[in-house]
Amino acid sequence: MSESQAPPAKPHKPLFYERVATQLIDQLKAGTAPWQKPWASGELQMPHNPVSGHTYKGVNVVHLLAQGQADPRWMTYKQAQQAGAQVRAGEKGTSVQYWKFEERRPKLDKQGQPVLDDTGKKVTETVPLERPKAFYATVFNASQIDGLPELEIKAPIWDRHERAEAILANSGASLHHDQRDRAYYQPTSDEIHLPGPQQFESPDGYYAIALHELGHWSGHERRLDRDLSGGFGSAAYAKEELRAEIASMMLGDALGIGHDPGQHAAYVGHWIRILEDDPKAIFRASRDAEQIMGYVLGLEHERERKQQPEEELAVTQAPSEKTWLYVPEFEQEAAEGLGAKWDPEARSHYVGTHTDLSPFATWVVGDVLAKAEVRPATLAHSYFQTLGFVGDTGAQDRLFPEAVVTSAGQVWIPAKAIDGCEQ
C-alpha cells in the first residue's frame, strides 16, 4: 500500500440508540410496534426483572417489548444462574442501557500523590462523575431460560374503573362528552372532548381513550409544559402523539384497562420520519411518556393530599440563601424556564429565598443539605433505578437511606440531565 493510500474505513457499528430506532422503524412500517398493538385488560405486562425486583422503564421497556416475547420476565445470565436456572446454549441476549454515576478512583493528598494505607496499598474513594456514563447489560427473556417457574397469570385489577374515574375526577380537567367518533384535547381552551361512556363497547375502552387525552392535557403550560403548539399533520403534533401513545400503553398496564391504539394510523408516517431523522427521539419520547404516566397516576390521590391539614403541606422556607429543589431531568427545562438555577457544587437546582415558591411547589425540598449528608451521585443512581435502569451489581446491593421525601411525597434525588451523556 502506498503512503498516499488511506487504510480502508472500518464499517460503522450501529450504536444502541440507532439499533433501537431501526427496529422500531421496521415495526412501525409493519404495524407491530409495541404501542401500535391493542391490548385487552390484563393482557399486557411491562417487562420486569424477577431477580432484582425492578420493572424496566423508559426506552428499555419499549425496546424489550419490541422483542415480541410473551413472557415479561428478563434477567442477565448470572441472575438466571442465581435463580437456579440456565440460559439455553445459543440463545441471543438483548441489550438494555444503564447509567454509572460514580466510580472508584485512587485517593490523592494535597500534593496530588496517592494516599496509602497502613499496609502500603493505595486508598481508593468513590467519586461522583461530572456526567453519568451510559453502559449496557445483556438480558435474556424467560422463554430463553430453562428451570424457571411458570409465569404467574396477572390477576385482573377489579377496581381499575374506580381508579381511572378517580384520576379523571381529581384532575379537575374540563371534560366534554360531545363527540360521536373522535376524541381530542384542545390546548387553547384547555378542554378534553370525547364521546360519552355509553358509546364505547366497554368501560375499559372509555377510560383508555379518556386517559390518553388526559395525557395530552398534562402537557399544558400550567402542568408539565410540553410543546403543544403543532397543528394536526405537523412534526410537533406527531411527537406529542408519540409520547402520549407510549404513555397510554404504560397506563393501560398500570391500571389494568388495556390499550387501544385507536385511529392513530395517520401518525405512522410522521413517526417513521421522526426516528429516521433523529434516532434518539425514541429515548426522549419514552422519557416523556414516563413523566406523563407518573403525573397522571399521581392524580389518583391528589384530592386526598389536598385535604390533609394545611400545616402538613406547608412548605418550609430554608433559612439559607437558597431553597433547594428536586427537579427530575425530564422537568429541568420547565423548572429553569420558571427561574430555577443550578448549583454545580451541590449538584442541585435552587431558587432564591425571596422567590415565590408557588410555581415550584412540587419540587421544593427545603434546607435538606444543611440537615443531611447527601451523596447526590448515590441518590441519582437510586432515582434512575426507580425508572427501571439497570445498575451495576454493587449499586443494586446498596440501600439508599439518605433519600429525602418532599412535601409532595417525592424522593429528593438531585441528578444532572442525561441528554448528551456518553454513549
Please check whether residue 313 is in contact with residue 305, taking contact to mean a CB–CB distance below 8 angstroms.
yes
Provide φ and ψ at 306, rounded to 5°: -70, -25
pTM: 0.69
**What's the pLDDT at 69?**
96
204: alpha, beta or left, given left = phi > 0 and alpha = psi -120 to 50?
Answer: alpha
**What's the pLDDT at 215?**
96
Joined grid coordinates for residue 192: 378534553
Tens-digit pLDDT string for the chain (423 aa) = 555 566 666 667 888 999 999 999 999 999 999 999 998 888 888 999 999 888 888 899 999 999 999 999 999 999 999 999 999 999 999 999 987 777 888 999 888 899 998 999 999 988 887 777 788 999 999 999 999 999 988 777 788 999 999 999 999 999 999 999 899 999 999 999 999 999 999 999 999 999 999 999 999 999 988 989 888 778 899 999 999 999 999 999 999 999 988 767 778 999 999 999 999 999 999 989 998 998 999 898 776 555 555 444 444 443 457 787 766 555 666 677 677 887 766 667 788 877 777 777 767 754 433 333 333 333 344 444 444 443 433 333 333 333 333 333 333 333 333 333 434
CA dist 183 → 48, 250, 293 (Å): 32, 19, 19
Indicate the residue type of 232.
F
**What's the pLDDT at 8?**
66
What lies within 8 Å, CB to CB, of 103 at 6+ separation is 126, 127, 129
Joined grid coordinates for residue 200: 364505547
SS3 of the chain: helix, strand, coil, percent, to 5 = 40, 20, 45
- The span from the CA of 133 to the CA of 389, in Å, is 13
**What's the pLDDT at 382?**
40
63: exposed, middle or buried (Cβ count in 10 Å: 0-12, 13-18, 19+): buried
The 3-state DSSP class for residue 283 equals: helix
Considering only CA atoms, which of 49, 51, 80 is closest in space to residue 64?
A: 49
Considering only CA atoms, which of 204, 261, 256 is closest in space to residue 32?
A: 261
**What's the pLDDT at 276?**
95
Chain position carrying cell 392513530:
264
- The span from the CA of 388 to the CA of 44, in Å, is 17
Chain centroid offset of residue 377 CA: 18
- The span from the CA of 411 to the CA of 417, in Å, is 17
Question: What residues does each domain of the chain span?
Answer: 16-95+141-146, 99-132, 160-302, 312-412
- The span from the CA of 204 to the CA of 255, in Å, is 10
* HSE value, Cβ hemisphere, 13 Å, CA-based, for 409: 10
Considering only CA atoms, which of 423, 328, 339 is closest in space to residue 382?
A: 328
Joined grid coordinates for residue 390: 439497570
Please check whether residue 33 is in contact with residue 21, taking contact to mean a CB–CB distance below 8 angstroms.
no
Provide φ and ψ at 44, rounded to 5°: -100, 130
CA dist 88 → 50, 64, 81, 85, 137 (Å): 18, 19, 11, 9, 18
